[in-house]
A and B are shown apart, each in its own frame.
Chain A
Amino acid sequence: MSEVLTYITEHAVQWGAVILLMLGLYIVMTRGNLIKKVIGLNIFQTAVFLLYISIGYVLDGAAPIVLEGAERYSNPLPHVLILTAIVVSVATTSLALALIVRIQEAYGSIEEDEILEHGET
């Protein structure tokens, strides 16, 4: 039993990422409201950011800026990568929201079932 516990606690960050990932995906798949779908997508992407940042962590590492007395530093590369990914995610979100505005204008609703009902004509 304790082995399982240590396994979980040792990989706490990864577990967190996986749970967020699943939550996000679940929201995207099950919610009919388009805004909620976008929120789900954001959670989904956030999970990946967490995963990446955890990769950069080095035991007892200081922040990667030159410091007096610091012997090792965390790996800065994943942080940089994930900054890019965050920008991408922001762009995706804004585009999605813009599309939602257009959908609202065209159909008068942002609920998926109502859009379907409104006639795919």
Chain B
Amino acid sequence: MSIVEHLPALQVAVPLLAAPLCAMMIRPSIAWPFAVLASWITFAISVALMDQVLTHGTIVYNMGGWSPPWGISYVIDPLNALLLLLVSGMAAIIMPGVRLGIGVEVTFRAQRLFFTVALLSLTGMLGIVITGDAFNLYVFLEISSLSSYALVAMGADRRASKAAFNYLIQGTIGATFILIGIGLVYMMTGTLNMADMADRLTDLHGSATIQAAFAFILVGAGIKFAMFPAHAWMPNAYTYAPSLVSAFFGATATKVGAYILIRFIYNVFGAEFAFDEMHVGWVLIPLGLAGAFVGSLVAIWQDDLKRMLAYSSVAQIGYVAAAIGLGNHDGLIAAIVHVFNHGLMKGALFLVMACVILRLGKADMTSFRGLGKRMPVTMGCFVVAGLSMIGVPFTVGFISKWYLILGALDAGMWPVAVLIVMSSLLSIIYIWRVVEVAYFSDPPDDVKVQEAPAMLLVPTLILTVLCIAFGVATKITVGVAGLAATSLGVYP
């Protein structure tokens, strides 16, 4: 057997093994390059996996040679290949900047542990996405969650511990709900393999147990996904976490929640059950739109810009939820594409915050005064990523919105399309507020500010450029999302 066949296992094993090794390296100057290397290898593997999926179709990999139902199998179809690419790509882009970025926020002694926990969190997310076994999904979910709580708690502000604690309580409730749901499905089907579950569930429509299981998983994933109104943990966690952690989570963590929703709704339970029997569209669309409005409105009033971005995430997650709820081909493409695209934009925006915090110590409206002249590249990135958030053509935001509205119109829901557009207009306000302060206010004279260092600036620039690149060349995102939607049984 060649190594190529074992790529699915290596995808998770590399960061998993690298994590404890990092913990053993006392000096951060050694642990950091090691963590960077591990994340790059992980990214390379996910690129290779994407290539395999696109050429040979879905990959099924049985762990240790045990075929299901005895063993755990990893299943990689276009949907999770895209998510793997997003998660590992974000890690690979952000990890090099981590050293400088956390320098001001995390103590020297804790830095190697930071890398350890970050790699574990990466492992967990990759595991959730790649696995084809429902219980295994729960285990990886807890790995990623526990390490996320720890990462959030590493923020410099004392409120970070409180934010992490609240995140832990709500996150654990969410994960436990998913566990209950999986247990109930197991009770009825006798299998934990998701493909087998999907097979056997088709005969079980109308069962109250399955309906309860669906509800538990929906709520649990909704909490993990920070879907309005279960988003309470997110703003504090993202605000007080170290900035690079916010960047990584903002780009990936909630996206994994979206993945769980999509996988269970369309694949395990099946669209027919979810939409015709449970009417999930009537839950997801109103809540999604409400989240879009509430998130954007609250974002407008924030003074702390990391918190503003967190609320903006609540809004963007609302779009994804609504898109999932549309239940047609274009809607599902919109959901998948927006998960990917929003990852790029939010990653870029949070990295801008990291640059600003590195130079000024905080990222509130006053610290942005006059930054347009003093940190021109950083602010340039903010403007581009911000325009993308608004959904200006030639940016990724436009592509997402295009499919979202097309999906809404296709489902015959004109009012939904109108509401989506109205709420997205609110993003103009909260983005432009910052742009105005940065370019039209005079900087306070007493502070000297330089452009951010290259180690942070380059990742920011890469993500910003990707925001435009994937807005013009959409073959990877929309193309793969289309394949994913088709493979989930949702045809145009």
Contact = CB atoms under 8 A, between A and B. Distances in A.
Contacts of A34: 165
A73 interface: no
B139 A51 contact: no
B161 A102 contact: yes
A99 B172 contact: no
Contacts of B159: 120
A44 B192 CA distance: 23
A81 interface: yes
A34 B165 CA distance: 9
Interface string A17-48: 00000000100100000100100010011001
Interface stretch (B146-154, B292-300, B321-329, B438-446): B146-154
Contacts of A99: 149, 153, 161, 164-165, 168
B142 interface: yes
Interface core residue of B150, B159, B183, B186 (most chain A CB under 10 Å): B183
B176 A48 contact: yes
Contact of B179 (A41, A48, A106, A120): A48
Contacts of A84: 135, 139
Interface size class of A (residues with CB under 8 A): 20 to 34
Given A55-B183, A84-B139, A44 B176 contact: yes
A91 B172 CA distance: 11
Given A51-B183, A99-B168, A44 B173 contact: yes
Interface string A83-106: 011001001100110011011001
B102 to A, nearest CB: 18
A102 B186 CA distance: 39
B149 A28 contact: no
A59 B158 CA distance: 54
A100 B158 CA distance: 12
A57 to B, nearest CB: 11
Contacts of A52: 183
Nearest to B180: A48
A78 B183 CA distance: 9
B23 to A, nearest CB: 16
A14 to B, nearest CB: 10
A89 to B, nearest CB: 8
A115 interface: yes
A34 B166 CA distance: 10
A96 B179 contact: no
Interface residues of B, number: 25
A22 B22 CA distance: 41
A48 B179 CA distance: 8
A103 B157 CA distance: 11
B146 A115 contact: no
Contacts of A41: 169, 172-173
Interface in B101-118: none
A92 B187 contact: no
A95 B183 contact: no
Contacts of B139: 84, 88
Contacts of B205: none
B161 A92 contact: no
Interface in B162-210: 162, 164-165, 168-169, 172-173, 176, 179-180, 183, 186-187, 192
Nearest to B70: A77
B150 A106 contact: no
Contacts of A102: 153, 161
Contacts of B161: 99, 102-103, 106
Given A44-B173, A95-B149, A51 B180 contact: yes
Interface string B132-144: 0001001100100
Contacts of B165: 34, 96, 99-100, 103
A103 B186 contact: no
Nearest to B171: A92
Given A28-B173, A78-B186, A96-B168, A88 B142 contact: yes
Contact of A106 (B142, B146, B158, B183): B158
A48 B150 CA distance: 24
Interface string A62-89: 0000000000000001100100110010
A92 B183 contact: no
A37 B179 contact: no
Contact of A25 (B149, B158, B173): B173
Nearest to B190: A75
Interface string B231-258: 0000000000000000000000000000
List the 8 shortest-distance A-B pairs measured between CB atoms, nearest first: A106-B158, A102-B161, A88-B142, A99-B165, A55-B187, A103-B161, A52-B183, A99-B161
11 contacts: A45-B172, A48-B179, A78-B183, A78-B186, A84-B135, A85-B179, A96-B169, A99-B149, A103-B162, A106-B161, A115-B162
Interface of B: 135, 138-139, 142, 146, 149-150, 153, 158-159, 161-162, 164-165, 168-169, 172-173, 176, 179-180, 183, 186-187, 192
Given A78-B183, A84-B139, A95-B168, 5 more contacts: A28-B169, A37-B169, A88-B139, A100-B165, A107-B162
